[in-house]
Chains A and B, each alone.
Chain A
């Protein structure tokens, strides 16, 4: 890994200092990484996709190096066929390993849902979703079984992510 120091970035022809600047303690390379990326997203409205397929929309208030997140004013958005609905969830703490991706919502397009989707009552969408998941589980199971017979192991080792 490259070791950056203050001297590398000096602009050519910049003011030449007589005295060497006091040594600046160097940040560990990790500081330029996960933390810095999440720092940019703090206090922003995000959509968080989880490993179990849930989509959460909320304001990122806190996080740590493992990607554990705290979301405020969270809603869960369910999509099913051509319908969607929102469920108020409030404060959410997500364990990092369950996070697939974080997307920063463009506030100009806030809450935009493609025209092909229509908002529907929670009960209706929830029931449809449950049905869909049930049938998906059944097909996944039979697929996994057939693969196992051929000596293959599914990519997600039995766990479905989407």
Chain B
């Protein structure tokens, strides 16, 4: 759930989503869900002429499973906070595993 929470902090930022079929779509991150499906607003397709079917589209819902990369604005990411959160989640998972095992 950590990445879900992380992506939620990036809502309303400009991101570029690169799909596994090589399309790159730039837009404002509007929402994200537990599968990391992504909704973008005011989209702009890189190399638009190669993907003409998206030329009259204003916002997209992208299935999480087809995303290859998400390019984030560097200043919107609090790296130390993310590191802490990752360690916390890792230790929690470890503790849980110990409890059960």
Contacts and interface: CB of A to CB of B under 8 A. Distances in A.
Interface of A: 1-2, 29-30, 32-34, 36-38, 41, 47, 49, 51, 55, 67, 77, 79, 84, 96-97, 99-106, 109-114, 116-117, 155-156, 161-162
B5 A106 contact: no
B56 A110 contact: yes
Interface residues of B, number: 31
Nearest to A37: B39
A47 B53 contact: yes
Interface of B: 1, 4-5, 19-22, 31-35, 37, 39, 43, 48-49, 52-63, 65-66
A33 B61 CA distance: 12
Label chain A's interface by main secondary structure. Answer: mixed
Contacts of A99: 63
A29 B21 CA distance: 30
Nearest to B58: A106
Contacts of A77: 53
